Amino acid sequence: MASMRHAPMKTALTLAVAGLGAATIAGCGNDVPPNAVAQVGDSAITQDEFDKWLQTNATVQAQGQDVVAPDPPDYTKCVAAKKKQPLPKGQKQPSNATLKKQCEQEFDTLKSEVMQFLIQAEWVEQEAEAQDIVVTDKQAEKALAAQKKQAFPNEKAYREFLKTSGMSNDDVIYRVKLEQLQQKLTQKITKDAEKVTDADVDEYYDKNKKRFAQPERRNLRVVLTKTRAQAEQAKQALEDGQSWKQVVNEYSIDEASKAQGGRLPAVSKGQQEKALDDAVFDAKKSALEGPVETQFGWYVFEVEKITPASQQTLDESKETIKNVLRSQRQQRALDEWIKDFRERYKEDTNCAEDYRVAECNNAPEEKTDTGGVAGQPNGRQNGQPQPAPQSPQE
């Protein structure tokens, strides 16, 4: 298939970036051409592609500083660059061996991210082609234009982003295309799962009636004091006609309710400490009650309003239930598809020895599957294939 990797893209204008560094390591794997780092079906991921994206990722992670990508196997440039970096006061310069180890670790991390991105991007492209899903350049450019409006104040800011990220506009378009392909794949995969019948709704409602029940709720006015004597004084003041606002400001130590003039709205059974809870739900409306002792102090309260318990009807619940069932079924369908998707494409993916990651059929056995698709390091987002690690927004 004609690879889109040469027409790069960005995701959601957190303009994603999956690294690079002009490192070249010889290595061969099962059925991997000598100038490639991996073979996915009939398509090869070339060394040049890997080097290009490695450098991009290194540029993003440098956050605008001078970029020196790890340069295996000796890491001469990387070590030299680290030695030029200013040290905290009193800290000694690490040895060359220590700096080289840091460079090796950085390269391993970048390499894994780039390989995941390139392999998973190829998987998405091949699957989209197999399912006759297409995103045109015009569609990608339109999506990019919308993303740029949200992420950048003007075109100059976007161009500055390209400069500091090490990506070209074509790289961004490529990522946008990947994102659009993934969205279309997801829509196609979950389309049938969207169907929810009235019988499905009825069954769910019957099994989950408690979820659609609203318990009795009471609106309260409260004063909380440290001592019983203070509570008695507060109660007497209220009985003498002082306003709740005046009494609360003078006596209450509960800052949350105090800020609301002593109001404590929509209290349900079991939400308060047991002594107060029992007293509140035994009380009559508009009756001044207390003092009630709790671990927090002494309460004087009044029930201002009682909202009886209620049961939402089937008709009132129907749309909510449909949305719940639709979401559950879509996620289940997507999870099942992604599992099959990964297994199918991993079986047909071989990597050069020095470039093996979890997505490779010949991956080291001690490695575990990352679970991500299309370059999201170590995981997936919302169960969907993700195109690449993301770089910060401008």
Report all structural domains of the chain as residue ranges with CATH numbers, in order of start. 1-194+327-394 (no CATH), 216-308 (3.10.50.40)
Give residue 81's pLDDT.
Answer: 87
DSSP 111-146: HHHHHHHHHHHHHHHHHHHHTT----HHHHHHHHHH
Give residue 314's pLDDT.
Answer: 94
Tell whether the model's pLDDT for residue 371 goes beyond 90.
no
The 10s digit of each residue's pLDDT in 33-67 is: 989 999 999 999 999 999 999 988 888 776 656 66
Listed residue (128, 126, 133, 167) closest to 38, CA to CA: 126
The 10s digit of each residue's pLDDT in 259-310 is: 999 999 999 999 999 999 999 999 999 999 999 999 999 999 999 999 999 9
Contacts 24+ apart (CB under 8 A), 73-82: 73/25, 74/100, 75/99, 75/100, 75/103, 75/104, 75/107, 78/103, 78/106, 78/107, 79/103
Give residue 23's pLDDT.
Answer: 32
For 134-275, strand residue ranges (E) read 213-214, 217-225, 263-268
Choose between 27 and 151: higher pLDDT.
151
Give residue 68's pLDDT.
Answer: 76
The percent of residues in the chain predicted with pLDDT above 70, rounded, is 84
Mean pLDDT confidence for 304-333: 94
Give residue 218's pLDDT.
Answer: 96
Tell me the HSE value of 179 on the side-chain side, using a 13 A CA sphere. 27
What's the Cα-to-Cα distance from 36 to each of 196, 233, 277, 291, 345, rounded to whole Å?
Answer: 47, 85, 70, 80, 18
Output the average pLDDT for the chain. 84
Mean pLDDT confidence for 316-341: 94
Binned at pLDDT 50, 70 and 90, residue 30 comes out as low
Residue 284 near residue 263, CB atoms below 8 Å: no
For the ranges 18-32, 134-148, 168-182, 285-299, the lowest mean pLDDT is seen at 18-32
Tell whether the model's pLDDT for residue 21 goes beyond 50.
no
Give residue 59's pLDDT.
Answer: 81
Tell whether the model's pLDDT for residue 238 goes beyond 90.
yes
Structure token pair of residue 83: 């030695």
| CA angle (153, 159, 163) in 5-degree steps | 130
Provide the β-strand partners of residue 299. 224, 292
Give residue 10's pLDDT.
Answer: 32
Tell whether the model's pLDDT for residue 29 goes beyond 90.
no
